[in-house]
Each structure stands twice: as C-alpha cells, then as structure tokens.
Amino acid sequence: MIVRRLQLFAAVTLILAFFGCQPDDKRNVPDVSDIEVDINIHRFEQELFQGDTVQMAATLDSLEQAYPEFSTIFFNQIMGINDPRIAPQGPAAFMKGFVQHPPVQQLYDSIQHHYGDMRGIEAEFEQAFSYFRHYFPEQPTPTVTTFLSEYAIAAFVYGENDLAVALDYFLGEGYPYQQINPGDPAFSGYMVRTFNREHLVAKAVQALISGLVSEPKQRRLLDLMVNNGKKLYLLDQLLPYTPDSIKLEVTAAQSEWLEDNELEMWAYFLKEELLYSEDWQEIRKFVDYSPHSPGMPPEAPGRTANFMGWQMVKAYMERHPETTLPELLAMEDAQRLMDASRYKPR
C-alpha cells in the first residue's frame, strides 16, 4: 500500500504540468526603524524562586500585586493553588513545596543556565513587535513575561496582547524531554527538536498570532490550510529575517523539500480529493503536528497542507497588494481567497 501511494504521488505531478511557475516572493520588508519598542522581559520565575519561602504568603501577595493578571492565571489555572483538592494545606504551603521540590529546583537551575542573559531574545522580540506596530497600529504593543510551567504549557496570551512564555519548553534538544513522559506525543523526537532558544521567539509570536486569527467556520482541509496559511503569512511579516524552517518548525532539508515539491503536493491533494474533505482522521496529519504526511515520500514532514496554504495566501497578497493584514485576517471564505489568488504551484 505504501509503495502504491508513493508511486501515485510521483505520478500525479503530470496532472498539473500545465501550471506556470509562480514568481519568487519579491515583497519588500518595510522600514520600521522609526518605530521604537522597548521590551523589558519580566522574569516571573526568578521573582518566585528567589522569594522568601519562610514568608511565602507575603511572597505570593507581592507577586499578585506586581503581576495582577498573569498571577491569577498562573496560580489558579496552571498551579491550582486555590483548589483544596490540589492544595489542601493552602496556597502558601503548596507553593513553598513546589519551589523547594528538588526536580523543580533542578528545572529552575536549568532555565537560569540557559537564560541568564536574555538580551538576544529581547532584541528578537523588539524587532517582531516593531513590525507588529507597523501592521497593527491600533493594537496594544505586546509585553513578555517568562515563567516555569513544569511542562504544562509553552506560551499563551493574556490581557491585551501580553505574552507569557514558559522557558522550560526551550532548554534545547540535549535536555531529556523524552524521559519526562515517554508515552506523551508532545515530547516526541520531532517535537522536542524545536524546544530550543532558536525557536523561542517564533513559537511565542505564534501564540500572539493565534489570538488574531479566528478559527475557520468550516473544517474542510481547504479551510484549515488557508487559516493556517494566514498564520504563517503573518508570522513571516513579523519575523521576516527568520529562516522558513523555524517558522515551519521543520529541518532545513525538509523546508527545502517543501519548496522543491510544491507542485507534486498540490497535485496529490487534488488527485486524492482531499481539499474538501472534513474527515479529521484523513486530513489531520496534513495540518496538525505529525512527523510525516501520509501518502507522501518519507522526506515530507507533517503539516504539508499548511505550507500550501501559506503559498496560497502569498499568491493572494501578491495579486491584491492593497489588502492590509487586518483585512486579510478578516476574510472568512477560503474558497474565495483561493479563487482570487489564482494560485498555481511552482
């Protein structure tokens, strides 16, 4: 069956042989040198772990005053300290036990080792937020707060474009993530490969973008790929100098494979009649995290449809340069966008 599908993948390239080549992306990166963004990353985890554990209740009160919105989410939703089933002895006793727990202390020490100096990360965020203010002048400028989640969540948005980043998700490929829970797919090899400093800003900005892009009303592959394509397009605008492999969360070789096989992938989706499929089990690996895309050669990474959606959105914006990013994000009809893009794979 696998051999037959691989042969089919190679054969269907003839279906679209009449398609012309799309020109390379010639967009100009805007000059944002006049937009001043001063990012001071707030190190919540440092203030928590360096706090007075003897007076833990006072430490928690101080953190709640300094981080009113974030601390509510962290203490209540992530840690659950006000739930008597989780913290029967009360919030202060629970958090004291947490910060003094040896494995958690080791995790904190690893974070401080990797992120004692955040100047490079701050510079990346400043650049991304300068472009954010250029494209979304009416939106509040994002802030950044770091924390230790004990592998609960990597990043999320709260308040008005406030970003929270769990540094324990970015300790590098050498960190023993796969030993934490060997059966958890979130710590699979292809996933932890991106749990590093190089991917931190892009992954955090993805969380910001997810709050700007509404979920599609329909769940066809076309709707999902265009929706994810919008997210990648926006990520590309905010991080124009970041390698595509990091934006796509694939290896450099896989990124090159995607570029070289755009026509073949598109032909495969058409041949298999996948564009309008709503069968999640059939289309999931083309849009959701997966090591491979079914039916394609082993060199193909997962989420190939997202790459195609990105190219489709690029084609639309090249044909309609007057469209602003907010206008693009407001477009709900994936079919209309595809038709108006006149997308032709390379």
Query: What are the pLDDT digits (tens) for 141-168?
Result: 999 999 999 999 999 999 999 999 999 9
195/53 same-domain check:
yes
Q: Which domain holds residue 225?
A: 2-29+213-341
Boundary residue ending a domain (204, 231, 255)? 204
192/51 same-domain check:
yes
In this prediction the pTM is 0.90
169/231 same-domain check:
no
Boundary residue ending a domain (176, 204, 232)? 204
Q: For 295-333, what is each residue's pLDDT tens digit? A: 999 999 999 999 999 999 999 999 999 999 999 999 999
181/235 same-domain check:
no
**Cα angle for residues 236, 240, 246 (degrees, 5° grid):** 65
- Round to whole Å and give the CA distance between 193 and 195: 6
- Asked if residues 99 and 109 have their Cβ atoms less than 8 Å apart, the reply is no
Which residue matches tokens 């990013």? Answer: 325
Q: For 107-139, what is each residue's pLDDT tens digit? A: 999 999 999 999 999 999 999 999 999 999 999
Q: Show the tokens assigned to 217.
A: 């009303």
Instruction: Give pLDDT, residue 104.
Output: 97
Helix (H, G, I), strand (E, B) or coil at 155: strand
Residue 238 lies in a domain: yes
Residue 272 lies in a domain: yes
Residue 346 lies in a domain: no
**CA nearest neighbour of 309 among 215, 239, 231:** 231
Residue 34 lies in a domain: no
- Round to whole Å and give the CA distance between 262 and 61: 55
Largest CA distance in the chain: 74
- Round to whole Å and give the CA distance between 186 and 154: 11
149/252 same-domain check:
no
Instruction: Give pLDDT, residue 25.
Output: 47
Q: Which contiguous run of DSSP H or E holds residue 43?
A: strand 42-43
254/301 same-domain check:
yes
174/264 same-domain check:
no
Residue 289 lies in a domain: yes
- Asked if residues 296 and 304 have their Cβ atoms less than 8 Å apart, the reply is yes
Q: Show the tokens assigned to 197.
A: 């400093």
